[in-house]
Amino acid sequence: MRDVMAAEVQRRKAEALERDGCYGEAVAAYREALRLDPSDASAHVRLGVALRGAGDDEEANRVFRDALALQARAAS
Protein backbone atom coordinates (compact mmCIF):
# COMPACT_ATOMS: atom_id res chain seq x y z
CA MET A 1 0.00 0.00 0.00
CA ARG A 2 1.33 3.41 -0.96
CA ASP A 3 0.42 6.27 1.39
CA VAL A 4 2.73 9.16 0.51
CA MET A 5 1.43 11.63 3.13
CA ALA A 6 1.77 9.18 6.02
CA ALA A 7 5.18 8.13 4.70
CA GLU A 8 6.30 11.77 4.71
CA VAL A 9 5.25 12.12 8.36
CA GLN A 10 7.23 9.00 9.28
CA ARG A 11 10.25 10.14 7.29
CA ARG A 12 10.30 13.51 9.07
CA LYS A 13 9.94 11.75 12.43
CA ALA A 14 12.86 9.49 11.50
CA GLU A 15 14.99 12.47 10.48
CA ALA A 16 14.36 14.15 13.86
CA LEU A 17 15.22 10.96 15.72
CA GLU A 18 18.38 10.55 13.67
CA ARG A 19 19.44 14.15 14.42
CA ASP A 20 18.98 13.38 18.12
CA GLY A 21 21.20 10.30 17.82
CA CYS A 22 18.31 7.86 18.41
CA TYR A 23 19.38 5.60 15.57
CA GLY A 24 17.41 2.50 16.53
CA GLU A 25 14.17 4.48 16.69
CA ALA A 26 15.06 6.28 13.47
CA VAL A 27 15.58 2.93 11.73
CA ALA A 28 12.11 1.81 12.82
CA ALA A 29 10.53 5.06 11.60
CA TYR A 30 12.35 4.89 8.23
CA ARG A 31 11.20 1.29 7.81
CA GLU A 32 7.61 2.37 8.47
CA ALA A 33 7.98 5.23 5.97
CA LEU A 34 9.24 2.74 3.39
CA ARG A 35 6.42 0.31 4.13
CA LEU A 36 4.02 3.15 3.32
CA ASP A 37 5.95 4.35 0.26
CA PRO A 38 8.57 1.87 -0.95
CA SER A 39 9.49 4.11 -3.91
CA ASP A 40 11.06 6.84 -1.73
CA ALA A 41 14.73 6.54 -2.66
CA SER A 42 15.80 9.24 -0.21
CA ALA A 43 14.21 7.32 2.67
CA HIS A 44 16.20 4.25 1.59
CA VAL A 45 19.42 6.28 1.73
CA ARG A 46 18.55 7.82 5.12
CA LEU A 47 17.68 4.34 6.43
CA GLY A 48 21.18 3.25 5.42
CA VAL A 49 22.70 6.21 7.26
CA ALA A 50 20.65 5.44 10.39
CA LEU A 51 21.65 1.78 10.22
CA ARG A 52 25.29 2.82 9.98
CA GLY A 53 24.79 5.07 13.00
CA ALA A 54 23.27 2.12 14.85
CA GLY A 55 26.37 0.06 14.03
CA ASP A 56 24.77 -2.29 11.48
CA ASP A 57 27.16 -1.73 8.57
CA GLU A 58 26.22 -4.93 6.75
CA GLU A 59 22.51 -4.05 6.62
CA ALA A 60 23.36 -0.43 5.79
CA ASN A 61 25.38 -1.56 2.76
CA ARG A 62 22.47 -3.72 1.56
CA VAL A 63 20.08 -0.79 1.93
CA PHE A 64 22.46 1.51 0.03
CA ARG A 65 22.63 -1.02 -2.82
CA ASP A 66 18.83 -1.19 -2.88
CA ALA A 67 18.63 2.62 -2.99
CA LEU A 68 21.03 2.74 -5.94
CA ALA A 69 19.00 0.13 -7.80
CA LEU A 70 15.79 2.03 -7.10
CA GLN A 71 17.30 5.29 -8.36
CA ALA A 72 18.60 3.55 -11.49
CA ARG A 73 15.14 2.12 -12.23
CA ALA A 74 13.55 5.55 -11.72
CA ALA A 75 16.05 7.15 -14.11
CA SER A 76 15.35 4.72 -16.94
- Domain around 14: 4-75
pLDDT at 74: 79
Number of domains in the chain: 1
pLDDT 10s digits, 32-74: 999 999 989 899 999 999 999 999 999 999 999 999 988 888 7
Query: Is the whole model's pTM more than 0.75, yes or no?
Result: yes
Which CATH number characterizes residue 39's domain?
1.25.40.10
Q: Which residues contact 11 (CB under 8 A, 6 or more apart)?
A: 29, 30, 33, 40, 42, 43, 46
